[in-house]
């Protein structure tokens, strides 16, 4: 199983979108400063995830959610 996840910085309220095969492990990496992009905006909390059967489907969805239309979808979904 592969996942697309969205985490939100508790302190700065910014979002990060990513994909992985282990969401819990990945969120812990973000919160332990092991990811360069998210290191300066800790702590993070998981706010959304979707599950996929394979990596390529997850990567396509990841790319969509990072687009303008995908960000609007997330804004509407997470209200």
Q: Is 11 helix (H, G, I), strand (E, B) or coil?
A: coil
Which residue is it, tokens 């979707």? 50
CATH classification at residue 47? 3.40.1440.10
Q: Which domain holds residue 29?
A: 2-77
Q: pLDDT for 52-78, tens place per residue?
A: 999 999 999 999 999 999 999 999 999
pLDDT tens per residue, range 1-55: 999 999 999 999 999 999 999 999 999 999 999 999 999 999 999 999 999 999 9
Distances (CA, A) of 40 to 9, 26, 31, 36: 10, 16, 10, 8
């Amino acid at each position: 199983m592969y996942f697309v996840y969205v985490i939100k910085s508790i302190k700065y309220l910014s979002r990060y979108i990513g994909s992985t095969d282990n969401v819990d492990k990945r969120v812990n990496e973000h919160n332990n400063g092991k990811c360069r992009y998210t290191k300066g905006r800790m702590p993070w909390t998981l706010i959304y995830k979707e599950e996929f059967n394979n990596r390529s489907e997850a990567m396509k969805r990841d790319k969509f959610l990072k687009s303008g239309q995908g960000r609007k979808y997330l804004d509407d979904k997470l209200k």
